[in-house]
Amino acid sequence: MSGRGRARARGRARGASEDQARRPGEQPAPQQQPPQPSSAPAPAPAGGPPAASGRASYRGGAKEPRPGIASGSGDVPADALSKMSIGTKDAGERRDRLFYSDPECKPAWLSDKRGTSGRALPVVTNYFKLEMTPDWHLYQYDVKFNPPIDSRKMRMALLMTHENLLGRTKAFDGMILYLPHRLQEQVTEVFSVRKTDDVQIRITITLTNELPPSSPQVMQVYNIIFRRVLAMIEMKQIGRNYFNPALSVDIPQHKLTVMPGFVTAIARYETDTLLCADISHKIIRSDTLLDLMYELYQQARGDSFYDDCVRKFVGSIVLTRYNNKTYRVDDFDWDKRPDHSFKLRNDTTITIAEYYKKSYNIEVKDMNQPLVVSRPKKKDIRMGRTEPIFLLPELCTVTGLSDEARADFGVMKDVGAHTRVPPEGRNRTLQGFINQINQNEKVKAEMQGWGLAFSQTLMTLNARVAPQENIYQKNNAQLSYRQEDADWSRDMRGKQLITPVNLENWVIVFTRRNSAQAQDLVQTLSRVGPPMGMRINSPTICELQDDRNDSYITALKQYVTPQTQLALTILPTNRKDRYDAIKKFCCVDHPVPSQCVVQRTLSKKQMLMSVATKIAIQLNCKLGGEVWCLDIPLKNVMVVGIDTYHDSAKKGRSVGGVICSTNNLLTRYYSRTTFQHTGEELVNGIVTSMRGALEKYHEVNGVLPERIIVFRDGVGDGQLRAVFEHEVPQLNECFKRSGGQDYNPKVAIVVVKKRINTRFFARSGPSLNNPCPGTIVDTTVTRPIWYDFFLVSQSVRQGTVTPTHYNVIWDTTGLKPDHMQRLAYKMCHLYYNWPGTIRVPAPCQYAHKLAFLVGQSIHKDPHMALSDRLYFL
């Protein structure tokens, strides 16, 4: 039974009992039978990523190579690597070890992916060159033990006794040995004595591969070596990244601690092997999980404490400082205590309190606290860890920021003072990081043994800044703005929208408490509308006596008619259930564009004119109007945005948002959603979406698009091969099927990635600043097997700007690299919810907004009557 179910059952059982809700530290009620010792393992690393779901689930693959893709001939073929059988699985058994390599998806026709337009801009990037000795190679050996040895630690100990033969520099994982030099013989046999029983073990070391510096396996070895280097400079691994607890900064007013660290990766780029290093921060609570539980108990009433604990903490990630491991809180066991017994691997029974004293010299202070349950993940189960892990709340620290903290401006401001590092500070920190590595004696010895060294300074390369885009409103009125700011909101005042829509029949719903704000908003909207070309009539007014959800829905049912253009509701708070109910009614049950405004937004009268202007622009978009446009030289082109979002109501289901442009200015869109369950393909639902989009495009333009350019967001690390081998052919087939038998459009599919660690700093005299919007990097730090580029499209006022990575994984459009880069930059100007450029092309952001609305609030397909409007803004 889950923690929540157990809490409800306990509450029902107590009924009229006068007993108070049991606190975290109270003794449980006596049981008739003592619990049997569990076989659950002692608190140990949970390990492994969460189970794949939604966008992370793919199956199958391309059956044969497709035209238009370069076959390539790397130094070490990926197929050969994947088929290599090395190492041992169990005693005497062999297993295949697969080395993941990114797909080679650079089109065969592309000889040079670099663009030429724009002005040159020298930039510094957060990469260090990995230098190596001439004719450097890595030698891979297969190591066998006879008689077979099951223990990995024992295999390592037996092999390490032959340091005179192997040398001090080596990497051995129990099966495979990597050396920076070649042994004299192809097959080398040595003998070691097992100390436990004095049995002589024969060790056979066989050369299996001579790896060049560009091999995918070598990249993995580089990263293994670098993890050793980080440990030598006393960095602690937490999750995937490394942090320095000694440099932690406390924020006492919010009971938070910011721990600085680095995220690093070594990979092969255009001409060199480079180390990418960026600053990372781990935010953790200063107090323990048990402290938070006691605080929650003081605020709770009756048995709501148990439900509150489950609601607030289940799903969060905790850090155990005694081993710097992170775990997911899956449940609470309210019946177990620190004196709960379990068995060690040697079948010795020990209590949890005794385990911590023996293993970590930690005295458990509260012997009455319940236990945190962390269930094994799929990776743990594959490794044989099937029992849950029990943790003590007093030794757990909650990591990250809660939703309440993120909504608190004061918390975010104080945290941002430590985490938003400007370019100059980031450069200084990274330079200090590499100096610490290069000057450490242990690191020097390790790196020299491998014949490797890191450069002393960050790399410098040449970028380009694309020309500033011209932005127009009605009658070709051009908006003036500075490209460095990428903000044209001031120049929009007094100028008409491209396609203003009159608001003649609309409804406004509010509570009696918000009556004054509602009247002020209506009057202000009527004033800001005409200068933009919108005529906003007086609405039908509905004043509620209370703010119950049913009251809002009843009023909407009564006043929304087929002639109603829009329903606007003023909400006293941002309660999610109320918002969800209104959106479900307006998007599914009675299709009408809707706008929800929180009362707090209207509380400052001096800001009301600005707020009303933004609301009027949103209303115009939701009614099918356009706000501004750009010069789009391409004709008969459809731009598609695809993004996914995990459905919050159903586990294992994801929502895909599909947005397709329907006019030549790329300012009007057709939208559909598709639901994807674990193991299903996202493309299955895209077929229906594209058929409707092509029909709408033909209805508007009289022809089908000649080119279709897809911007695919939501592709995580390691998923690119699945998208390239599986989604690309299906998307191509989808376009042909949707448009008819003879329809064969030219297609480009671009993977858009926001979560990257690459940074660029522009030189401004002696200091470093953020590069201005429009900065493009398509050399040095791009990949030779990809048609990719980086684009800085947005302006930031704090911290360091993060570029967006674009990877064109399929392209038959015939567009030059300049054209593809300029189109991506143009599309970043066309998001109507912000009078400036954004990080991703507008269709991607629209697709995200749609998938978020459906996945968070509606959980159903929106009504088709809304598909040609931006109702989800």
Looking at the annotation, which residues are catalytic? 643, 681, 713, 848
From the list 861, 873, 806, 872, the residue with the least C-alpha distance to 839 is 806
From the list 722, 709, 659, 665, the residue with the least C-alpha distance to 686 is 659
Provide φ and ψ at 211, rounded to 5°.
-100, 130
Report the C-alpha gap between 535 and 531 in whole angstroms.
9
End-to-end CA distance of the chain: 41
The token pair that represents 755 in the structure block: 């979560």
Provide φ and ψ at 198, rounded to 5°.
60, 25
Q: 3-class DSSP state for residue 569?
A: strand
User: Cα angle at 331 between 55 and 677, to 5 degrees?
Assistant: 20
SS (H, E, C) 450-468: HCEEECCCCEEEEEEECCC
**Residue 546 in contact with residue 511, Cβ under 8 Å?**
yes
User: Cα angle at 343 between 338 and 346, to 5 degrees?
Assistant: 140
Alpha-carbon separation of residue 458 from 66, 356, 432, 455, 803 (angstroms): 39, 44, 11, 8, 17
Name the strand (E) or helix (H) holding 301: none
Neighbours of 802 (CB within 10 A): 20
**Residue 351 in contact with residue 38, Cβ under 8 Å?**
no
Query: What is the DSSP-derived secondary structure letter of residue 48?
Result: S
Bridging pattern class, strands 788-792 and 775-777: antiparallel
Bridging pattern class, strands 629-630 and 471-472: antiparallel
Name the strand (E) or helix (H) holding 688: helix 683-701
SS (H, E, C) 218-239: HHHHHHHHHHHHHHHCCCEEEC
Cα maximum dimension of the chain: 95
Alpha helices in 23-141 (DSSP H): 78-83
Omega of the bond leading into 147 within 30 degrees of 0 (cis): yes
